[in-house]
Amino acid sequence: MSKNYRSELVFLFGDPVDDNPTGAMMEAAFAACNLNYRYITVKVSEDGFDAAMNGIKKMNVKGLNFTMPHKEKAVRYMDRLSPAAKIIGAINTCYYEDGKLIGDNTDGKGFIQALANKGYSPNGKKIFILGSGGAAKAIATECALAGAKAITIANRTLEKAQSLSDVISSKTDCRAHAILFTSGLVIPEDTDILINATSIGLAPASDKRPDIDFDSIKKGMVVSDVVFCPADSLFLKAAREIGAVCVNGLGMLVCQGVLAFELWTGIKAPQTVMAETLAKEMN
């Protein structure tokens, strides 16, 4: 058999993107599976995105990841969208299937998988989400599609929470409602899963935590944070002290990467290698 010197390519487009550790995790995963794949992190500015996408379509790539500020704009380059991506209106991953470019959003699915890895599911549960940005949209959508009973979305910009809850209520079987995120926000005692989907607490502002009434968190409540740097955020530390079950953002980050890896390669991702690589990079 003749040698093949060509690597399969996967790109990440974003700006800023220099401190995004996904490339290290993916390259370790490709190496662990003996795949001649390369994951290339590229700084693509907002006004350079169209040219970059037109170029990429000629390069026989296996797929891409998108991060800020491209997740919404990327949708219009897709031939098809996953059901969740259609609802969310934003993608973080795309891959080819029968020559067609398919857009998906693995953030929310990664969150569900990280919960499942700890033995929990949103099915039949009351969910309380802080924030209404990209991460909140992805998580709310996947929780709704996974059978959540009700979702409350609290945001400091009420209109954004309202618009997200309208989408969830109209496009899924789950009932969602919006509230204003004010200082000392009380979490209802029948909440099963509380999620910080804001960027509060993300390094370098790791001395911050969402301004909620921590006394309203009940023992045994599942509390999750999308912030992955630091993995043990102040929010999770405070919830754990009260006796909550904590699920950190690193698990979600690994799981969304696992799903993307499997879409590009068609083989099972080496989850442990990916988790260990990411943990090392975070240190």
Among 37, 66, 181, 261, binds ligand NDP (CB under 6 A): 181
Residue 12 binding ligand NDP, by CB under 6 A: no
Residue 104 binding ligand NDP, by CB under 6 A: no
Among 252, 258, 260, 274, binds ligand NDP (CB under 6 A): 252
Residue 226 binding ligand NDP, by CB under 6 A: yes
Comparing CA positions, the residue from 89, 73, 212 lying closest to residue 81 is 89
Residue 155 binding ligand NDP, by CB under 6 A: yes
Give CA–CA dist 25/45, Å, rounded: 23
Whether 240 and 214 have beta carbons less than 8 Å apart is answered as no
Output 63 or 110, the one with its CB closest to ligand NDP: 110
Residue 230 binding ligand NDP, by CB under 6 A: no
Output 3 or 246, the one with its CB closest to ligand NDP: 246
Instruction: Decide the pairing of beta strands 63-66 and 8-14.
Output: parallel
Among 56, 84, 101, 135, binds ligand NDP (CB under 6 A): 135
Beta bridge partners of 224: 195, 247
Whether 86 is a known active-site residue: answer: no
Give CA–CA dist 57/60, Å, rounded: 7
What is the rounded end-to-end Cα distance, in angstroms, of the chain?
Answer: 43
Residue 167 binding ligand NDP, by CB under 6 A: no
Residue 227 binding ligand NDP, by CB under 6 A: yes
Give CA–CA dist 271/257, Å, rounded: 9
Residue 131 binding ligand NDP, by CB under 6 A: yes
277 SS3 class: helix
Beta bridge partners of 151: 127, 176
Residue 128 binding ligand NDP, by CB under 6 A: no
Give CA–CA dist 276/26, Å, rounded: 12
Binding positions for ligand NDP, rule: CB under 6 A: 107, 110, 131-136, 155-157, 160, 181, 198-200, 202, 226-228, 249, 252-253, 256
